[in-house]
């Protein structure tokens, strides 16, 4: 039975963040994309993501792939599973809980968003991309401005309140793929190394780009997901 792939977008992302990845995936996969724009906690995002899978048969293979904030949602799902997950990918994300330093930065960012949201978006675009073309920047800018400040504030509150799942992660046995941009400044490579320290059997793929893997490196993401599925198959 071919897998169902649940894709979970990142902060200030909607389903379109995966639009360049989708055509590169195996044509017989069933793909579903979570909505993480309306909730104010990781638990509620995970709850709604599980609801997307209510109709699956018990034997249906499931892959979960979370990007950035979506990685935090994936961690919530993996450590509090409602059904079997056969494989998981964590892209441009971290297993660490919020620190006092990052909390202070987020609080300043939220204040700036409420004052001048478009200006903050320009800063986010610069910080989260690496050698991006004007077309890529325009695509991301259009998506993020359309999502808007209120959703960004909800998502930031959810990120700040995320749980520490590191103890449970060490007990996972399913195939897990980690992927990170070599020039990622949002979730730098060291965070991916710390993730592997918690999940020693996880594979790591390094990509010569910044944070926005699904947009700037869709082929690498699709290949990672395909390889992950193949690694989960019994011999």
Domains in the chain (CATH in brackets) are 4-99+155-232 (3.40.50.1820)
By CB atoms closer than 10 A (0-12, 13-18, 19+), residue 27 is: exposed
Task: Give the start-end residues of each E strand in 25-175.
Answer: 30-33, 62-67, 87-91
Written as six digits, the tokens of 130 are 């690496």
pLDDT at residue number 137: 98
Distance CA 91, CA 72 (A): 10
C-alpha separations of 9 from 12, 61, 114, 155 in Å: 8, 21, 23, 11
* Closest to 46 measured CA to CA, from 139, 130, 163: 163
pLDDT of residue 121: 98
Q: Write down the pTM of the prediction.
A: 0.97
The residue count for the chain: 235
> Rounded to an integer, what distance in angstroms lies between the CA atom of residue 192 and that of residue 165?
15
Q: Which residues of the chain have pLDDT under 70?
A: 1, 234-235
Residues 144, 9: contact at Cβ < 8 Å? no
pLDDT of res. 232: 83
Tokens describing residue 54: 């209510």
User: What is the pLDDT at residue 231?
Assistant: 87
């Amino acid at each position: 039975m071919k897998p169902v792939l649940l894709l979970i977008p990142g902060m200030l992302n909607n389903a379109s963040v995966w639009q360049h990845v989708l055509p590169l995936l195996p044509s017989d996969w069933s793909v579903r994309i979570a909505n993480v724009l309306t909730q104010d906690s990781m638990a509620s995002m995970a709850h709604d993501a599980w609801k997307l899978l209510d109709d699956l048969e018990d034997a249906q293979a499931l892959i979960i792939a979370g990007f950035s904030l979506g990685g935090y949602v994936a961690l919530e799902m993996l450590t509090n599973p409602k059904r079997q997950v056969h494989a998981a990918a964590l892209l441009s994300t971290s297993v660490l809980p919020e620190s006092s330093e990052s909390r202070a930065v987020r609080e300043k960012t939220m204040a700036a968003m409420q004052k001048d949201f478009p200006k903050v978006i320009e800063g986010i675009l610069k910080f989260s991309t690496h050698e991006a073309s004007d077309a890529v920047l325009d695509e991301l800018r259009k998506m993020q401005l359309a999502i808007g400040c209120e959703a960004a504030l909800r998502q930031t509150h959810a990120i700040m309140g995320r749980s520490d799942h590191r103890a449970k992660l060490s007990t996972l046995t399913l195939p897990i793929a980690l992927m990170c941009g070599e020039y990622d400044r949002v979730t730098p490579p060291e965070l991916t190394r710390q993730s592997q320290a918690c999940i020693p059997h996880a594979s790591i793929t390094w990509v010569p780009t910044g944070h926005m893997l699904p947009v700037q490196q869709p082929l690498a993401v699709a290949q990672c997901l395909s390889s992950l599925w193949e690694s989960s198959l019994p011999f």
